[in-house]
Amino acid sequence: MTVEDLIVDGKKKVHSTHAKMLLADLLNKNPLELTTILDEEVPEEIVKQYQEKLTSLQQQKPIQYVLGNVNFYGNLFKVNDKVLIPRFETEELVENTLKFLDLFENAKTLIDLGCGSGAIGITLKKKRPDLEVTLLDISQDALDVAKENATNLETNVNFINSNMWDNVEGTFDVIISNPPYIKEDEEIEDIVKNNEPHLALYGGKDGLDYYRMILKDIRSHLNSSYLIGFEIGESQKNEVEQLLKETLPEALVITKKDLQNRDRMVFAYHF
């Protein structure tokens, strides 16, 4: 079969954009390049892989899991069903963290709590090589993915298998987290609910359990000057701000909106 044959077949089964993305990935091409090789014959092994991936998409698997990777902040991260798929909002958490780090010039150590694929911590390490970065997750499967991403992206970071602070010693200048924050009874898309790890999605009855868990023992892991950055659900601004102010009354607390004008990031800092 030719490239064109496969594209035509794929469009009958899934969204045309996804069909092209799958084939381009298998051929190590940019999707736009496919138009220049429409007449080329595709090896039978790749045809077979393409058909298998189309079937996975038809079974409502996320495109990122089917591809096995996602572009996050300009780097390609491996993802599978053991880790949350990094979203655009999390790229904005990284972007805003970097802006705060421009002000916090003496920051030396950073920990990413609930790191999943490692997208946040690894990206920050690549952007700020001077930082000593630690990635923490309760899931060893998630840490295995993060370790592979760190290796692939030639990034030297530390790893801790822990339920938040349980196995952590020492203090940090920067604490970053995109914790599970979906309420137990909150309606979410089926493709997310049925595929992504619930451990990384749900944050208890009100969605705030992990913020409380982090803040409960945060004092013993903070240096005198610090930056804390949380991704939050769009309706959680007031509650997370209040938790931070009660725990760290000396800190300045600021909520940032995402590009869709939703409250999605809360920062607390003292430096």
pLDDT in tens, 9-19: 999 999 999 99
Cβ-proximal residues to 106 (8 Å cutoff; 6+ apart), any chain: 173, 225, 271
Residue 175 pLDDT exceeds 90? yes
Quote the pLDDT of residue 94: 97
Q: What is the mean pLDDT of residues 132-158?
A: 97
Residue 230 pLDDT exceeds 80? yes
Residue 35 pLDDT exceeds 90? no
C-alpha to C-alpha distance for 259 and 58, rounded to whole angstroms? 31
Q: What is the mean pLDDT of residues 62-83?
A: 95
Residue 235 pLDDT exceeds 80? yes
One domain, residues 88 and 43: no
Quote the pLDDT of residue 138: 95
Quote the pLDDT of residue 183: 84
Cβ–Cβ under 8 Å, residues 62 and 191: yes
One domain, residues 55 and 86: no
| DSSP structure string for 125-140 | HHH-TTSEEEEEES-H
Quote the pLDDT of residue 105: 84
Residue 114 pLDDT exceeds 80? yes
Quote the pLDDT of residue 186: 80
Provide, rounded to the nearest whole percent, the portion of the chain with pLDDT above 70: 100
Cβ–Cβ under 8 Å, residues 230 and 179: yes
One domain, residues 115 and 13: no
One domain, residues 157 and 199: yes
Provide, rounded to the nearest whole percent, the portion of the chain with pLDDT above 90: 83
When pLDDT is cut at 50, 70 and 90, the band that residue 93 belongs to is very high
**Domain encompassing residue 47:** 3-59
Q: What is the mean pLDDT of residues 28-40?
A: 89
One domain, residues 45 and 90: no
pLDDT in tens, 178-214: 998 888 878 778 888 787 788 778 788 888 999 999 9
Would you say residue 74 lies in a domain? no
Would you say residue 162 lies in a domain? yes
Quote the pLDDT of residue 198: 82
Would you say residue 77 lies in a domain? no
Which stretch, 38-52, 57-71, 111-125, 173-187, has highest mean pLDDT? Answer: 111-125
Tell me which of 22-31, 70-79, 123-132 is least confident: 22-31
State the residue for tokens 């996320």.
62
Q: The domain that contains 175 carries what CATH number?
A: 3.40.50.150
Would you say residue 243 lies in a domain? yes
What angle in degrees, to the nearest 10, is found between the helix axes of 88-103 and 119-127?
40
Quote the pLDDT of residue 196: 79
Phi and psi at 159, nearest 5°, equal -135, 140
C-alpha to C-alpha distance for 152 and 261, rounded to whole angstroms? 34
